[in-house]
Every structure is written in C-alpha cells, then in structure tokens.
A and B are shown apart, each in its own frame.
Chain A
Amino acid sequence: MPTDKSEVLQGTLDLMILKTLHALGPLHGFGIARRIEQLSEDVLTLNEGTVYTSLLRLQQKNWIASEWGQSENNRRARFYNITRRGLKQLALETENWERISAVISRVLALEVKA
C-alpha cells in the first residue's frame, strides 16, 4: 500500500456520505464509494465495505432514508437519500468541521520562534 495515503478519520466518513447525498441526490452504496474515491483523489484509502456500516448508522439516526430501485446495469439496488433531519445535521456538522479545521489550521500555522 502506498504510504502517501491516509486512513479515513473516524467519524468523517459519516459527514462525507451526508454531503455526497446532499450534493448528488439519491445514490446507492457503490455510487457513494465511487464519488468519495473520486473526490479524495486517491489521498484517502477506503475499505468500501465500511460505507455500509456508516450507512446503517446514519439510517438508525434517521438522517438518511433508503428505498429499492434500479441501478445503471439494471440490478436491484438500494438508493439512499438525505432526510430533513439529515440536512439539519449536515449544516451543523459542516459548521463544526469548519470551526475545528480552522482552529487546527491556525495551530499548525504557528511559526517556530527563534
């Protein structure tokens, strides 16, 4: 495994999936995995199976809902979409993330005193 890839941060996968669903509308698990892979530009490694663990978690919290439909290759697939609760949560998490990443960026930007 190439060493320049980072593990997905615990908890960030949920946020990424929420955002993906928000941006692209209803998607199946495969689609979500592709989209994240694409966006991460091979920076993140993803065991695609963990997407499903995350999807179950989000569903239990009622942030996303699912229904069966046809996939591109005409297979039965489960399509997930974001719920109203999920949207609210996404806004909240996004704000949280930005605040924290801003803090971390500021901390990392500290210059070493001579």
Chain B
Amino acid sequence: MTDRILIFFAKLKAVFGQSKDDTAFSEEVNAHLDLLSEQFERQGMSPAEATQAARRQFGNLTLLTQRRKEARTTMFFSNLARDLKYGVRQLVKTPVFTIVCVLTLALGVGANTAVFSVMHAVLMKMLPVHDASKVVYVHTTGFPAGAHNTGDEATSFSYATYRELREHSGLEEVIGFIPMSSSGKAPVRVGTAPEEAAGDMVSGNYFSGLGVGVELGRGFVQKDEDDHAATTVISENFWTTHYSRNPNVIGKTLFIKSHPFTIVGVAAKRFEGTEGRLPLDFWIPLQSHPDFNAWGNPAEDGTYLTIPQFWCMRLMARIPAGVSTDQALAKAQGIFQQAAYLGIAQKRAGERIPQLSFLPAKQFDSQDDTFARSLKTLMAMVGLVLLIAICNVVMLLMSRNANRQREFSIRLALGAGRRVIARQLLTESFLLVSLGGAAAWIFALAATRALGAWARIDSNLQPDSVVLWFTLAILLLLAIVFGLAPLRAAMSSGPDMALRSSAAASQTTSQKTRAGNVIIVTQVAMCVTLLVGAGLLLGTLRNLMNIPLGQKTEGVLVFGVHPQHVKSKEESIAFFVNLQQRLRSIPGVESVSFASNRPGSGWSSNNGGLLVDGHKPNGAEPEQAYYRQNNVGSDFFRTMGVPIAQGRDFSDADSSSATQVVIVNETFAKKYLGTLNAAGHILTNTRGLHPRLIIGVVKDHKYTGITEEPRPMRWVVFTQGDLENQLDVEMRVKGDPMQMLPTVRTFMQQIDPDMPLLEPMAQSEVFQQSISQQIMFARLAGCFGVLAIILIATGLYGTLSYRVSKRSAEIGVRMALGAQRSQIVWMVLRGSLLLTAIGVAIGIPFAMAATMGLKNSLYGVKPLDLTSYLVAIVGVAVVALTASGLPARRAGSVDPSSALRAD
C-alpha cells in the first residue's frame, strides 16, 4: 500500500519538470551509449560499428523514451490536460451554444443560490452565540388584563417579570433587551453631525450570557446594569464605519440621545444583535433616566423600571446544562405565571393566563410565518426554474453531441476506448458547469443583495459556507448529469457509423426522439405551473396596488421629530405648535400636521372601552368596544387628503384648554353610534370620565397598511392627548415630496442642530412598504415565469432546429415525391404543438395542486382563477408556436435536390 502511495507522489511530483527529466534522461542514455561503444572499440571494432553495436545492445531508444514518459508520471494529468484543451476548443467552436448554456446555468443555479441563501439566513441560521442550541427566545401568548404593552405582544415582558424569571426560574441566564424606539433607532452623535443608529438597551449579562465575545475592550458586567452605567459597546460594523477601526476607540464618548456614553468595547465581528432584520450599531446597559424609557416612550408616569404593568422588554434565556428545554420551560412557567401579575390588583375571572414558550435562537426570531411561507414558495419556484434549465441544457447537449456522433464513431474506429470518450464528455461537462457555476455565484451575490433590499432586511444575508456547499453540490450533480446524458447517444454509434453516409445516419431512432419528447413535455408542464403561479401572484399584486387607500397619499412628505430635553406636556405642545407654524412658512408647503403613529407603518394604538353620551355604545358592552386611535395635529385630514363626511377637521383652535374633541371614522360611527351622523355626540371612558365631543366623521381609509380591513377608528388632537415626545410630521407639498426634503432638512437644522429627521419618506412609499413583501414575492414570481418562458422558447427552438436539420434528407425525399411546402411546415408544427398540448394537459393538474399551497399568499384571487390558467396556457402555446415557427419555415425551404445531394 505504501508503495502505491509513494509511486503516486513520485508521479505527481514528476508532473512538474517533465522536460527537465527528458534532458537528464537523454544525457544519461547518451553517456551509457558512449561508454558502451568505447568498450566495443576497445574490443577492436571500428567507431561506426561500435556505435551501431552499442545501439543494438541498448535496445529501442524511442520506445524506451515513450515508456518512460508514460511511467514516470500519471497519465491522468496529461490526459486531463488534453481533455480540457479539447473541451475548451469544443466550447469555443460553438460560442452560441456555450453562451446559452452558461447563461441558463447562471440564472438557474444563481436564482437557487440566492433564494436558498436568504432562506438559510432567515429560517435556519443560528445566532452567532456560544452553544446556540442552549439559547432560546422567550415568548408569551400575551400579557395579563390590566397591563399594557409596547412592541410585539408575543415578545414583550415587564421588567418585574424579567427580574423574577432571572432570580427564580432556574434558567442559567435570562437576558433582557429593549429597542431604543419603535424604529429601533435613536439619535446619536460621533463628531458633530447628528444621525440615527440602531441600538438596544440590554441587561448586564447580555454579552456574557449569550457568549458573544468582543473585538476590543469588554462586554457589559452586572454592575453596568445595576448602576445604569453610561457605557456602550459598539458593533464591529459601527466601529469600522465611524471610527475606521481605530484601536483607541475604547474610552471615547458616543452621544446617544444627547447623553454622553463611554465606549467600553467593540462586539465580535459576526454579531449584529438579536433584532433579526435590523443589525444593531450599539448596546447600552438598562438605563433609568426618563429619556431612556423603553421604546423611547414618554416617561410621564414613570419608566419601564417603575411601572410593573408596562410590558416592553424582550427576553432570551440560556437553558442550564443537563436540563432539557421542556424541563426548563415547565419550571419557568410557574414562576412566570405568578410574576406576570405583579403590580396588578387582581386576576380577572376567566382570564386566559399567559403561557410562556421557548423558541430556538435563530438569527431571526420566527414570528413572521408569512415571510417563511413566501420564501418556501419561492424556493419551490426557483427549483422548478432550475429543473427547466437543466432540461434545456441536457437537450442542447444531446443535440450538439448527436451532431458529433460521426466524430465519436471515428474515434471509436481509431481505437479510442469507451472510457476515454466518457471521460472526454465528463470533462466537457465539468468545464461547462464550472463556467456556469462561476457566473451563477456572481449573479447570486447580486441577487441576494436585491432580495434583502426588497424584503427590507438590513442584516447580513450574503451566502456563507453552507450556501456554498449547497451550490457546489448542485453543480456537481449537474456536471455528472450533463456528462452522462449525452453518453448513451455517443456510445450507441458503433465504429461502423463512421462508414455510413450522413443521410443514412440521419434517421433518428424513435427511442432517441422519445427521450427528447419526454423532456419537452416535462418542461412545458413545469412552465405551465410556474406561469399559473406567477399569474396568480401578479393578480394579487394588481389587486393590492389597486386597493383604494381612501386618502391622497401623493405629495405628502413624512418624517419623525424627536425633540431633545422636552420634559413636560406643555413644553412638548409648545415645541410642536411652534414647529408647525414655522414649517407652514416654507414656500411650496400647502399644509402641515402631525401623527403619533405614522399611517401605513403598521403601528397603531389599540384601545378599548367607551360610553356614548353615557350609554352603552350601540348595544355593545362598553369594555368590548375596541377601537384604534391615533393622536394627530390640526389640519390632519386636509393634509392626508382624507374626505370629511360630516363636521370639520381639527384646527389650531383645538388647543389643550379648548373643548376636548374627537373625530371618528364611518365604521366607528356605524358600529358604536348606529348612525353616520355622529357629530355632536359625546364619548367618555367606561367610567364616564374624559368626555370628548365628536366634531367630525371621516370616510373610512387605511391606517396601519394597505391590506387592513376597515375598523373602528378615532383621532384625538395631540394637544389634548398624552405627552408626546416624538411625532411624525406630515407635510403636503406642491410636486414631488422628496424634492422638498433638503429644504426641510436645512430648515430643521436651524431649529436644533442635534435633531435628525427620523426616517423621512414619501407617505405613499410608507403604504407601499406595508406590502413590500407581497410586491417582492409577486415580482420575483413574475421574473421566474418570464425566465421559464424564455428557457422553454430556447429549448424548443434548439431541439426542433436540430431535428429539422437532421431530417433534411427525409424532407428532401418527401418534397421530391411531391409534398407541398405547407405540408412540410405543418408536419413540423404539428409535432411541437402536440407535445405542447400534452405538456399543458399534464401541467394543469400539477399547477392546481401547487397553487393550493399558494392560497394564503393570495389577495382577491382564487387559487383556481380561470384567467391565470388561460393566460398561462395561451402563453405557452404562443411561445411554442413561435419557437417552432422558424425551424418549421426552414424545413419548408429545404431544397430537395441539394438535400439529397448532400452526401
């Protein structure tokens, strides 16, 4: 065995420096011959005789040299080099074929890599923390009645619950973190320019508990949390972008919400926080200052630390070693269900007690099922695209290699082994797949970036090693398939083929045609499926885009303003009223208003409990009267372009000291007042307190997003509501709202240089983003549909052209025997139409089954939408006709005499 290995290495070494060995060997042999002839001369031969005798005794020098060449190194490499050279020559000789194959592979494999990469990052990748299998996200089914929450219900806990779980649940670590604001970002300042950065306020064990290291400095310690220390750890990315990776960054000051924080560490490179799609820039320990209340909420009545009913904190936990997740959960459940009611006077009868659950510590906390489903559907779609692409390349390869049958038979006739030909084909296939794979990888990198942007995911989705292996596995499989598929065709031609005329050889065997037919039919069937799916999703997109918003969002600019150092309600009102006045003075601004929840962003205040004129609201239980609310500024409905059905809009006269007023929508009026004439009635809370006069009824319009159903909704002017420390400015301007942005930015900087504009956007864009996932989904599906159609077209065209060219002799005979041009054209067309029809017939049930899975992603379209099916069928038929038209015409123009003379 060792001998074999030694020989292999010796041969491997000899691959290099072959010519050196040649010279050395010839020198050695010449020396030998000289010595030998000298000896013969000494024995009395003449020099000429001696040389001859020496050669005779030495043996066949040429043969010996050749043997040596073969023996000294492994033939594998030199053969491979030869095969490669030949393969490259083949590819270069047929540039169109090569380009079509490489592009097809790039699109097919690239699309799969990109979608898989996103799917892997979103659904499978674990957080880069120590022993991630022991780390979990903590979820709850809700919060107890009497508490209130900010953030997602499933991931919000009160500070009191956090403390209790941490101390008594038996979990190794309980880690808490709170976003800085509803957008996750907060104003920060490194040098002089203010900007927004994403950050979390975290417990002292955040880094140590998760097991995340640091590039520099240190993570937090418990003392940081206990002292609410003004320290911060920044992300590796923030360190790079804002401090150019300066190692002296430790000890520098970062201003967050105008408060100075000392940088104590830089987090490990791959760690981007625990907020899923939003990569974080910094972390600070849990703070007690009112400016740092959870989610940036105003702290009028206290902060998250002091209000036990305020559910706002996200939790993760580390399961102790040797304890199963279920055991740990069971233990924590009891503690949690007691702790949840801390600060709540008493449990309501029949109340559903919140349940704790643990979810694996993936990069993305899996709450968003729709996205996961969309991704899986996309994966299925790109899978189909890949299959179609494979079929295409296989067909192209088969027809090209069938053209080379003569070459193969000549090679066989000249003594090439079948193994040699198989190796040649595999080499060519590997070459093709390598080219396609390289192009696919480049395409995938760009496509992943685009996918991330469309899905509004900022965190890193770029392909990692797992994705690379996935792609390489696909490519390897393809290389083997592509190498072996044409093998049979190549082998079937024995050496005798070389002797036959091409006309005789052109007779296609029915077996070979059948294989091609099966592929075409499969392709058409898959194409129909993809097209139906794409049609349904595009229909959904059309429906979504055409949903009336009930308001004129065009020409409205929106941006958030968070005044620093506003402590009281009076200060806040004074600031915003002043701001409104000043913004109105900008030329080109038609009207200015405010909203505490940005319409279209998905955020909403959901409240419940009211009386109408002191009575039950239209027969409903007062506690059960749920509604959504938004606190807004004067001129709100004029600014937003919402028609007022009755009464009036808020005006500057609705100040904090004036009559408390409210505006409701039509659904509210109908549901809780039983009439659209609601103006003049008075709303109070369930105890009859805080009366508000209804001054207007507005038409129903969309609030949280495009797909929401009309719900009871009311608006309160912010001067008469709770303290607002951050409002969105809604600004109706002439022309493109984004054009106005620079002017507004300079204007705002004059008011306060430390105050960035938060997420400035066109209001119409905000609503668009509420369906960005559906838009992305539909667009991609449309792209894949088009891609499939193009692939089918090239595939059909290639195959039919090839068949026609092979049958030109037969067609010539037919024409010579009196067949009409039209008959020949029809003969070719009929063949492809028949195949298309069979493909469609198989594809439709397949599509029906597939689209059932799409059901949940559709809006206003049924899975069995007739139009989508018809369009798909007609589309495939038209493409099939077009793709076969050219070859058919060519068949019709075969000149019988030249076709028959060809051989």
User: Which residues of A have CB within 8 Å of B22?
Assistant: none
Convert A70-95 into 0s and 1s, putting 1 for each residue whose CB lies closer than 8 angstroms to a CB of B.
Answer: 01110111100000000000000000
User: Which residues of A have CB within 8 Å of B61?
Assistant: 49
Convert B161-173 into 0s and 1s, putting 1 for each residue whose CB lies closer than 8 angstroms to a CB of A.
Answer: 0000000000000
User: Which residues of A have CB within 8 Å of B7?
Assistant: 60-61
Q: Does A48 make an interface contact (CB < 8 A)?
A: yes
How far apart are B437's CB and chain A's nearest CB, in angstroms? Answer: 36
Task: Summarize B's interface: helix, strand, loop or mixed.
Answer: helix
Residue of B nearest to A48 (CB): B58
Asked if B64 and A71 sit within 8 Å, CB to CB, the answer is no
Could you tell me which residues of chain A, from 29 to 51, have a CB within 8 Å of some CB in chain B? Answer: 29-30, 33, 47-50
Q: Does B94 make an interface contact (CB < 8 A)?
A: no
Asked if B11 and A60 sit within 8 Å, CB to CB, the answer is yes
A72 to B36, CA, bound (A): 12
Asked if B31 and A71 sit within 8 Å, CB to CB, the answer is yes
Could you tell me which residues of chain B, from 421 to 440, have a CB within 8 Å of some CB in chain A? Answer: none
Could you tell me which residues of chain B, from 1 to 44, have a CB within 8 Å of some CB in chain A? Answer: 3, 6-7, 10-11, 24-25, 27-29, 31-32, 34-36, 38
Which of A28, A48, A62, A73 has the most chain B CB atoms inside 10 A of its CB?
Answer: A48
A62 to B64, CA, bound (A): 21
State which of A52, A57, A72 has its C-beta within 8 Å of the C-beta of B28: A52
A49 to B56, CA, bound (A): 10
How far apart are A16's CB and chain B's nearest CB, in angstroms? Answer: 17
Q: Does A53 make an interface contact (CB < 8 A)?
A: yes
How far apart are B70's CB and chain A's nearest CB, in angstroms? Answer: 10
User: Which residues of A have CB within 8 Å of B36?
Assistant: 30, 48
Q: Does B71 make an interface contact (CB < 8 A)?
A: yes
User: Which residues of A have CB within 8 Å of B125?
Assistant: none
Asked if B68 and A78 sit within 8 Å, CB to CB, the answer is no
Interface size on B, residues (CB 8 A): 26
A62 to B31, CA, bound (A): 24
Interface size on A, residues (CB 8 A): 23
Q: Does B59 make an interface contact (CB < 8 A)?
A: yes
User: Which residues of B have CB within 8 Å of A53?
Assistant: 64, 67-68, 71
Q: A52-B64, A60-B6, A61-B6 are in contact. Are A30 and B11 (CB under 8 A)?
A: no
Asked if A62 and B6 sit within 8 Å, CB to CB, the answer is yes
Q: Does B567 make an interface contact (CB < 8 A)?
A: no
Q: A57-B71, A76-B31 are in contact. Are A50 and B64 (CB under 8 A)?
A: yes
User: Which residues of A have CB within 8 Å of B29?
Assistant: 29, 49, 52
State which of B6, B27, B64 has its C-beta within 8 Å of the C-beta of A49: B64
Asked if B59 and A50 sit within 8 Å, CB to CB, the answer is yes
Q: Does A56 make an interface contact (CB < 8 A)?
A: yes
Q: A48-B36, A53-B71 are in contact. Are A60 and B10 (CB under 8 A)?
A: yes
Asked if A49 and B31 sit within 8 Å, CB to CB, the answer is no
Asked if B25 and A62 sit within 8 Å, CB to CB, the answer is no
Q: A61-B6, A61-B7 are in contact. Are A52 and B31 (CB under 8 A)?
A: no
Residue of B nearest to A57 (CB): B71
User: Which residues of B have CB within 8 Å of A30?
Assistant: 31-32, 35-36
Q: Does B46 make an interface contact (CB < 8 A)?
A: no
How far apart are B73's CB and chain A's nearest CB, in angstroms? Answer: 10
State which of A28, A48, A61 has its C-beta within 8 Å of the C-beta of B59: A48
Which of B28, B67, B71 has the most chain A CB atoms inside 10 A of its CB?
Answer: B28
A73 to B42, CA, bound (A): 14
User: Which residues of A have CB within 8 Å of B6?
Assistant: 60-62
Could you tell me which residues of chain A, from 1 to 35, have a CB within 8 Å of some CB in chain B? Answer: 28-30, 33
User: Which residues of A have CB within 8 Å of B141?
Assistant: none
Task: Report which A residues bind B (CB closer than 8 A).
Answer: 28-30, 33, 47-50, 52-53, 56-57, 59-62, 71-73, 75-78
Top 3 nearest A-B pairs (CB, nearest first) are A47-B59, A49-B59, A60-B10
Please list 27 pairs of residues, one from A and one from B, whose beta carbons are closer than 8 Å in the complex, sorted by A's number: A29-B29, A30-B35, A47-B57, A48-B32, A48-B57, A48-B59, A49-B29, A49-B59, A49-B64, A50-B59, A52-B28, A52-B29, A53-B67, A53-B68, A53-B71, A56-B71, A60-B6, A60-B10, A61-B3, A61-B10, A62-B6, A71-B31, A71-B35, A73-B35, A75-B31, A76-B27, A76-B31
Task: Report which B residues bind A (CB closer than 8 A).
Answer: 3, 6-7, 10-11, 24-25, 27-29, 31-32, 34-36, 38, 57-61, 64, 67-68, 71-72
